[in-house]
Structure 1
Amino acid sequence: MTTSPDRRRAPAHAGHRPGRPNVIVVLTDQQRWDSTGVHGNPLDLTPVFDRMAAQGTHVEQAFTANPVCAPARSAIHTGRYGTATGVFRNALPLPDGEPTLAHHFGAAGYRTGYIGKWHLADADPVPSGQRGGYDQWLGANLLEFSSDDYRTVVYDDDGEPVLLPGYRSDALIDAAIRFAGDATFARRDAGTGPAPFFLFVSLIEPHHQNEVDSYPAPEGYAERYQGRWLPPDLAALSGPGSAVHQHIGGYWGQVRRVDEGLGRLLEALRSLDVLDDTIVAFTSDHGCHFKTRNGEYKRSCHDASIRVPLAIRGPGFDGGGRVSRPVSGVDLAPTLLDAAGLPVPARMQGRSILPLLRTPGASWPDDVFVQVSESELGRVLRTSRWKYYVAAPEADPWHDASADRYVETALYDLVHDPYELVNLAGVETHREVADELRQRLSGRMVEAGEAKPVIEPAPPVAATGQRRVDPAVRGDSIRPTRLGHQPR
């Protein structure tokens, strides 16, 4: 992959051109959904993302398929759950022959490139056969270990180390801009028109730097945001000296710098005269709860772990659209293929969201299914109102991909308890709700290719206070409904 700019013939302005669009995915690591302004963050961290969400399509309820790196990424690349690909936890390579977005776009004549963190191989440099079918490569399997904030070491097509200058997210965005320029000019120099390319840009920020357990932001950025605002769940569950108060300034600073890089990428596409021909999707692999739910930063059923930002701009997505139904990481791959006019393979377990944008009243379920691994073996059903979670007490979450027996572990009413502070599992007044959600979760697990499970109810807990579920609204809050495109 080219790592330094060339002198090239400037293109004549051509405006929007017909044909298949370029596609770019920008993936962050461990970014909470509420780090963005469109989700209520008051710190003005993401003005570029917020504009993408307002002018393109904003997926208001986007969720990872698993709140840990490798299975989340395998789902994004393949449109399949981790138990289907075999990557149900970290340290498992994507199997040879598992089709990815790169394979599908490459087969359609796209030039494909990968930049940044991979986390789907078993070695660094990543062997060529474990690169998911990408033509051009400038990445590292575990970028958090091959680099730090101002020393970004990745490996090129030949497996040779390349040191990229600048702050790490800036360095990777710079490489993405060079790839887009090279791909655009190569086809124009050949006289064949704009280049169709598919580029996946995988940043490490705002992930912590593992060996020092910190969130290193560029100079001055952590100080700008330290002590200013906390999401309510973190404020309620953390105390002085906690990981939250120690790291939140650096975390917010990293988010701000990433957003500035996203802006530079979009400006570069505009200067190359391909912005209107390029689909750009921005999302994250999972969230971050700063050790408030377990002993580390994710791997739990809570929205702080599983909910992520997602906005898409470009052909098919512009116009200020809003998708308010829950959408999973497995849905991104079929969505991008569909938007590029390519067939969606039947083996993909996700579905394209484009029918929600094109057809008022299009059918879409009001829930997503999430698998949890490593911390414990669990399964989540997340609807617009309810969070229902079960765990397998006898399973080994590092060795077992699934289990035959689960026990109800958590139930949250997200309308009245949006920060998941009151666990209603086993509460007698919510038994009927839990029973209906249990049936839906069981069906989702079977759809994902798992065996039909036994899910045992949580031990009964007497209701406290005046808690009850209004029968007049309970059914509508649980059953799937239909939703079409909702313009702003």
Structure 2
Amino acid sequence: MTSPRTSPARRPNVLVFFTDQQRWDTTGIHGNPLGLTPVLDGLAGDGVGVDQSFTCQPVCAPSRASLQTGQYPTTAGVFRNGLALPRTAPTLARSFRDAGYATGYIGKWHLAGDHTSGPVPEEDRAGYEYWLAANLLEFTSDAYETTLYDHDGTPHHFDGYRADALGSAAIDFIEQGRGQTQRQDQEQEQGQEQDRRPFFLFLSFLEPHHQNSRDDYPAPTGYSERYDDPWVPSDLAALGGGNWREHLPGYYGMVRRLDEVLGQIVNALDEQGELEDTVILFTSDHGCHFKTRNAEYKRSVHDASLRVPTVLRGPGLRGGVRLPDLVSHVDLPPTLLDAAGIPVPDHMQGRSLLPLLSGADPDWPPEVLVQISESEVGRALRTDRWKYGATAPGLDPWNDARADTYEDACLYDLHADPDELTNLVDEHAHDRGHDCAHEGILAELRERLAERIVASGEPRPPITARRTAGAERR
């Protein structure tokens, strides 16, 4: 079965350009005034810019599991870092491969558990054929030292800046293989001709994630200096703490170089005559709050952790559309399949964005669900106006994937308080026994959150008012 949006004779290539720990407001389309992302802004101007796009788990492995499966992290079996994606999981790579695509993965994987930092066993690659990656790229590379491992586990060492190395590998894939897998290359050398196939390439960067070994944001040489007097997002300026003063210049320099690499790949596609037949998705796994909300960079319910830039461009995804609806990571895999004319499998828990572009999905959910692990066992709901979070005190956020019951943790009015500075649950907890202006809102959001938890595949939990007024402010 082929979607009417694509020709049965020519299915589009699909390229995912995936960054790590990139806030939505690093981009020009979201108001950053520094000119960091002219290429991405141009793709949005000609394609589809998703104005409100959110991870469904603000930490590396769970968000990556969602993008590979179209499922929530608990359903996919990767609710925190250190867990491997189940080897039999239905994945994007397998869907594209079964539809006749050549599939390739380049860069950071982070879905083979903690048993390896470098080579990933073939059975842990989720069905990708071409492979040039490292499980934990942050531990097999530095800014100017990159090691990736091929299909056979052979290391390949790259000089130059890390993002450039990954971009060059992607261009080689496009120009030399154009969808040919390593096994196909070997067969061709033996005289067995193979038809050219459309490709699905997932290109996964570490930038602009910090370098773990020294808690630094190493931009290319000379790039940090360009942003010594950076524009400061309003939440960081208002909160005042954290380490953004030290790290924003390097962070912005990394974002700038990523956009330049994106430009090189777009040019390569154009030179190969593939650009107009390629669906490009740009997104990130989660954001970054620079230790203003907790002792590290994410794992919180705030938009600085959750909201990411998302742009699509390609056949069926043109016109400079700005999509206002709230979108979750689980919606992106079905969108890619739909754009390629491949039926969306029933196991995926998200919905394709393509019907939204034609106004044909009046039942699109008015909120997104977020799962939180490692810092707490929590669930959150993000609507256009409200951010509501519930947590399960006393559980182990490293070992407990979910809770049987939750209680109020936070409520923010995003219209009045877009930087999420005033937790209205604190007000309610202190005013208990009196008429609270937000009791009706809390009751409604508890119900909506419970419904979304059920829809994600978990049992319906009771969600109650916070039991103690002295809990830590969020």
Q: State whether TM-score is above 0.5.
A: yes
Unmatched tracts of structure 2, length 5 or more: 1-6, 429-435, 470-474
Structure 1 residue aligned with 2:443, among 431, 435, 441?
Answer: 435
Give CA-to-partner distance per residue, 1:308-347, whole Å, 9 cap, x none: 0000001010111121111000111100001100010111
Residue of structure 2 equivalent to 1:167:
161
Find the aligned partners of 1:435 and 1:386 in 2 and give their Cα distance: 13
Distance 1:95 1:360, change over 3 A: closer
Find the aligned partners of 1:361 and 1:285 in 2 and give their Cα distance: 26
Tell me which amino acid in the other structure corresponds to 2:43.
Answer: M
Residue of structure 1 equivalent to 2:229:
227
Shift of 1:365: 1.3
Give CA-to-partner distance per residue, 1:265-287, whole Å, 9 cap, x none: 00000000000000000000000
1:211 maps onto 2:205 in alignment: no
Structure 2 residue aligned with 1:65, among 52, 56, 66?
Answer: 56
Structure 1 residue aligned with 2:454, among 446, 453, 456?
Answer: 446
1:141 maps onto 2:135 in alignment: yes
Shift of 1:458: 3.0
Q: What is the count of residue pairs matched by the alignment? A: 444
Give CA-to-partner distance per residue, 1:230-277, whole Å, 9 cap, x none: 1000011124xx411111100000000001100110000000000000
Distance 1:197 1:310, change over 3 A: same
Name whichever of 160-169 and 247-256 sits farther off.
160-169
1:200 maps onto 2:202 in alignment: yes
Shift of 1:153: 0.5
Tell me which amino acid in the other structure corresponds to 2:47.
Answer: G
1:457-468, aligned counterparts within 5 Å? 457-458=465-466
Tell me which amino acid in the other structure corresponds to 2:141.
Answer: S
Find the aligned partners of 1:59 and 1:398 in 2 and give their Cα distance: 32
Find the aligned partners of 1:348 and 1:26 in 2 and give their Cα distance: 21
Name whichever of 419-428 and 46-55 sits farther off.
419-428
Residue pair 1:379, 1:391 contacting (<8 A) in 2 also: yes
Structure 1 residue aligned with 2:176, among 182, 186, 210?
Answer: 182
Give CA-to-partner distance per residue, 1:139-184, whole Å, 9 cap, x none: 0000000000000111011101111222101110110011011233
Find the aligned partners of 2:139 and 2:239 in 1 and give their Cα distance: 30
Name whichever of 421-430 and 167-176 sits farther off.
421-430
Find the aligned partners of 1:184 and 1:209 in 2 and give their Cα distance: 32
Find the aligned partners of 2:221 and 2:280 in 1 and give their Cα distance: 29
Identity of aligned residues (%): 57
Residue of structure 2 equivalent to 1:369:
369
Residue of structure 1 equivalent to 2:35:
44
Residue pair 2:371, 2:380 contacting (<8 A) in 1 also: yes
Residue of structure 2 equivalent to 1:87:
78
Give CA-to-partner distance per residue, 1:331-378, whole Å, 9 cap, x none: 111000011000101111111011101235632111000001001111
Residue of structure 1 equivalent to 2:431:
none
1:397 maps onto 2:397 in alignment: yes
Shift of 1:407: 1.3
Residue of structure 1 equivalent to 2:337:
337
Find the aligned partners of 1:452 and 1:185 in 2 and give their Cα distance: 44
Find the aligned partners of 2:369 and 2:179 in 1 and give their Cα distance: 42
Residue pair 1:172, 1:203 contacting (<8 A) in 2 also: yes
Residue of structure 2 equivalent to 1:297:
297
Shift of 1:194: 5.7
SS in structure 2 opposite 1:324? Answer: strand
Tell me which amino acid in the other structure corresponds to 2:266.
Answer: L
Shift of 1:195: 3.3
1:238-257, aligned counterparts within 5 Å? 238-239=240-241, 242-257=242-257
Shift of 1:119: 0.2
Find the aligned partners of 2:277 and 2:245 in 1 and give their Cα distance: 43
Shift of 1:433: 0.7
TM-align CA RMSD:
1.9
Point out 4+ residue stretches in structure 1 off by more than 4 angstroms. 189-194
Residue pair 1:115, 1:139 contacting (<8 A) in 2 also: yes
TM-score (norm 2): 0.91
Find the aligned partners of 1:91 and 1:192 in 2 and give their Cα distance: 38
Tell me which amino acid in the other structure corresponds to 1:238.
Answer: G
Residue of structure 2 equivalent to 1:125:
119
Find the aligned partners of 1:68 and 1:326 in 2 and give their Cα distance: 20
Residue pair 2:230, 2:248 contacting (<8 A) in 1 also: no
Residue pair 1:183, 1:195 contacting (<8 A) in 2 also: no
Residue of structure 2 equivalent to 1:97:
88
Name whichever of 448-457 and 278-287 sits farther off.
448-457
1:323 maps onto 2:317 in alignment: no
